[in-house]
């Protein structure tokens, strides 16, 4: 977001020569353009003369035309002989030139007639009577000083300016400040936008910029406003996402450091358990930028976990196992098609799988080498969000024929190749429902961000028709899949899940504090004197949220070369839910899912997965 504190004014005030009702009128045979200062990066002015401008005409005088109603058009460099320009027509020329320079990436453009031609104080025409050429002088802002300004909870207020933790922002800034040897950069929007976009990929930081006058003619101060929270976050989570074999209740404890060494590097550690008895696992990852800021990031990760057969969708066998994983991954920015942030992802991981089959008193273990490659695209705004992940991965270390049956599934293939996909989409409805009224900030009722729809899709496809080991199957059913069904009730080589939701954000539908002031009313007191119980202004967000949701979920699983003891399933459910969010520290969510389609295994209904069954899903997270 660009915050322009620099006034951009044009001194085209009351020029000389009066024509009733048209203001001052001036004969102009040609426009000449020049810059009011010298700088090595000034743009070419020749293209300006090729710009076409449209005007209206009144009593032989060119005036600004209403949109779509221009009757006279010509290139700025080819002014018809005998043309007379009203003030509004000169403003149209000004606006067209400024728009062209903006399109070329230059912002804060200031343009005025030469003071030798037009008196800036009185508007009197100083040109000799026979002189009809008009000199236009263009000024572009020059960066005289660049600073970082810390905001948020990471940096103390008394050390907010140019804190050492933000030195890299100054070092890699695409615009430079003036010094004794060279002038400062011109105000270029595109490199700034690109720089900020990469910086703001960091999940615990938001950087905006602000511009102000440096006190010198044409000089500006560029401030990077660095909003950061405390870099260490610890959280605890409780949910009923377990299975009957391991216990319904699951606990999770995690910690993330978003600036481990101050280089935008992130360390994350998580411990998951079912009451410290079964299904324990540990996950850890570390990532850092290789090309600053976030144009290329590297990540190393590892995990250890234990599981039971039911947790990976196997119902007719009783086995338990452990998985040890280690891997590396690189994620790099490619380009931005149509406003989408596109990244390429490549990596490889090693997995050690060990299984103890209680049913047949057998054990099995194998080592897997799984390379992967993929693409990620996302676009996030205040009104919509789109995220797409595509990845192709497979095992290149063939599993021994004698080992495969002991890993929990019969007749699996020694290698496999699967395509995984996930798409997360959200959209606020107000701009579609109210259109132009949504942009009218005086009508706050039609300018809320309270009504949201979301559509999430994820799945897996076995590209070559391989039967994968059970640890690599796609799972369906449960809180984060098809709600209402038991957790991981179905598994297959192929699978997909679709979640469609409508969400109503109650606090966002309340009258903003600012709307009370605009109507001359006294706004309600803030909660505990400091917390915003309602939006601070139109389009703003309160410090809490209460979300009511209605949803429909669907899923499918399909098995390659399906055996008699396997089943393909179609899952469908619907339900409602409520979620409470407080200050980013507490999240409490409850969803009620109702099963709409019965699942069968060996022609018998699966327990708790029959049409009419239901399930309450619960999760709460506390972070500090």
Can the peptide bond before residue 264 be classed as cis, meaning omega within 30 degrees of 0? no
pLDDT mean over 95-117: 93
Residue 512 to residue 104: CA distance in whole angstroms: 38
DSSP one-letter code for 260: S
* Domain limits, CATH 3.10.20.310, in the chain: 142-228
Digit-coded pLDDT (tens) for 332-370: 999 888 889 999 999 999 999 988 877 667 788 899 999
Is the C-alpha dihedral spanning 95, 97, 98, 103 positive or negative?
A: positive
Contact predicate 462/473, CB 8 Å: no
The model's pTM is 0.84
Nearest Cα residue to 345 out of 336, 335, 332, 334: 332
pLDDT at 7 over 50: no
pLDDT mean over 393-412: 86
Q: Would you identify the CATH topology of the domain 142-228?
A: Ubiquitin-like (UB roll) (3.10.20)
Q: Out of 1.20.1050.10, 1.10.260.40, 2.40.160.50, 3.40.50.10790, which CATH number does the structure's domain 232-623 have?
A: 2.40.160.50
Which pLDDT does position 178 carry in this prediction? Answer: 92
Geometric angle at alpha carbon 586, from 585 and 591, rounded to 5°: 145
* Mean pLDDT, all residues of the chain: 90
Work out whether strand 569-582 and strand 586-595 pair parallel, antiparallel, or are unpaired: antiparallel
Which pLDDT does position 264 carry in this prediction? Answer: 95
Confidence grade of residue 128 (pLDDT, cut at 50, 70, 90): very high
Digit-coded pLDDT (tens) for 528-545: 777 899 999 999 999 999
- % pLDDT > 90, the chain: 73
Contact predicate 76/31, CB 8 Å: yes
* Domain limits, CATH 2.40.160.50, in the chain: 232-623
pLDDT at 15 over 50: no
pLDDT at 10 over 70: no
Give Cα separations from 550 to 487, 505, 592 (angstroms): 20, 12, 9
Confidence grade of residue 328 (pLDDT, cut at 50, 70, 90): very high
- φ and ψ at 199, to 5 degrees? -60, -40
pLDDT at 313 over 70: no
Confidence grade of residue 315 (pLDDT, cut at 50, 70, 90): low
Which pLDDT does position 296 carry in this prediction? Answer: 96
pLDDT at 48 over 70: yes
pLDDT at 446 over 90: yes
pLDDT mean over 597-612: 93
Q: Which of 85-89, 215-219, 318-322, 483-487 has the lowest mean pLDDT?
A: 318-322
Contact predicate 55/65, CB 8 Å: yes
3-state helix, strand, coil in the chain (%, to 5): 15, 45, 40
Digit-coded pLDDT (tens) for 424-441: 999 999 999 998 899 988
């Amino acid at each position: 977001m660009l915050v322009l504190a620099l006034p951009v004014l044009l001194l085209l005030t009351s020029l000389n020569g009066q024509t009733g009702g048209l203001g001052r009128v001036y004969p102009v045979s040609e426009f000449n353009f020049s810059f009011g200062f010298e700088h090595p990066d000034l743009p070419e002015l020749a293209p300006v003369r090729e710009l076409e401008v449209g005007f209206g005409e009144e009593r032989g005088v060119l005036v600004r035309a209403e949109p779509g109603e221009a009757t006279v058009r010509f290139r700025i460099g080819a002014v018809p002989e005998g043309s007379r320009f009203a003030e509004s027509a000169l403003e149209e020329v000004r606006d067209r030139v400024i728009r062209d320079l903006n399109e070329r990436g230059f912002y804060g453009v200031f343009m005025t007639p030469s003071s030798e031609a037009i008196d800036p104080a009185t508007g009197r025409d100083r040109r000799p009577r026979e002189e009809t050429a008009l000199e236009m002088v263009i000024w572009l802002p020059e960066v005289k000083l660049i600073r970082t300004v810390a905001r948020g909870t990471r940096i103390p207020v008394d050390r907010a300016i140019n804190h050492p933790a933000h030195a890299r922002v100054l070092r890699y800034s695409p615009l430079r400040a003036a010094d004794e040897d060279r002038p400062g950069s011109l105000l270029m929007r595109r490199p700034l936008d690109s720089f900020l976009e990469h910086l703001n990929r960091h999940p615990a930081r938001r950087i905006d910029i602000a511009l102000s006058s440096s006190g010198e003619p044409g000089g500006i101060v560029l401030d990077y406003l660095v909003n950061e929270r405390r870099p260490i976050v610890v959280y605890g989570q409780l949910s009923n996402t377990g299975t009957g074999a391991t216990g319904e209740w699951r606990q999770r404890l995690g910690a993330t450091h978003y600036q481990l060494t101050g280089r935008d590097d992130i360390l994350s550690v998580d411990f998951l358990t079912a009451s410290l008895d079964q299904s324990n696992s540990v996950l850890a990852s570390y990532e850092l930028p290789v090309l600053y800021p976030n144009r290329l990031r590297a990540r190393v990760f590892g995990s250890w976990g234990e599981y039971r057969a039911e947790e990976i969708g196997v119902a007719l066998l009783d086995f338990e196992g452990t998985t040890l994983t280690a891997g590396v991954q690189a994620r790099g920015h490619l380009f931005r098609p149509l406003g989408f942030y596109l990244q390429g992802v490549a990596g490889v991981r090693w997995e050690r799988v060990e299984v103890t089959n209680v049913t047949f008193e057998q054990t099995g273990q194998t080592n897997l080498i799984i390379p992967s490659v993929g693409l990620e695209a996302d676009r996030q705004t205040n009104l919509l969000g789109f995220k797409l992940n595509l990845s192709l991965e497979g095992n290149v270390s063939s599993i021994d024929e004698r080992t495969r049956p002991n890993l929990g599934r019969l007749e699996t293939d020694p290698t496999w190749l699967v395509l995984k996909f996930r798409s997360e989409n959200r959209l606020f409805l107000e701009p579609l429902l109210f259109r132009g009224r949504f942009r009218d900030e005086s009508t706050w009722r039609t300018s809320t961000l309270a009504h949201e729809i979301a559509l999430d899709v994820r799945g897996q496809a076995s590209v070559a028709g391989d039967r994968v080991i059970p640890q690599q199957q796609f799972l369906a059913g449960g809180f984060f899949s098809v709600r209402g069904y038991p957790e991981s009730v179905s598994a297959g080589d192929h699978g997909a899940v679709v979640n469609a939701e409508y969400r109503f954000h109650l606090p966002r539908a309340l009258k903003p504090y600012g709307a009370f002031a605009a109507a001359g009313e006294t706004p309600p007191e803030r909660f505990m004197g400091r917390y915003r119980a309602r939006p601070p202004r139109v389009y703003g967000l309160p410090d809490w949220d209460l979300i009511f949701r209605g949803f429909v979920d669907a899923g499918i699983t399909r098995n390659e070369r399906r055996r008699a003891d396997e089943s393909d399933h179609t899952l469908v459910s619907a339900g409602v839910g409520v979620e409470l969010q407080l200050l980013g520290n507490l999240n409490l969510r409850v969803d009620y899912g109702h099963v709409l389609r019965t699942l069968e295994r060996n022609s018998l209904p699966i327990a708790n997965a029959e049409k009419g069954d239901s399930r309450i899903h619960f999760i709460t997270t506390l972070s500090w």
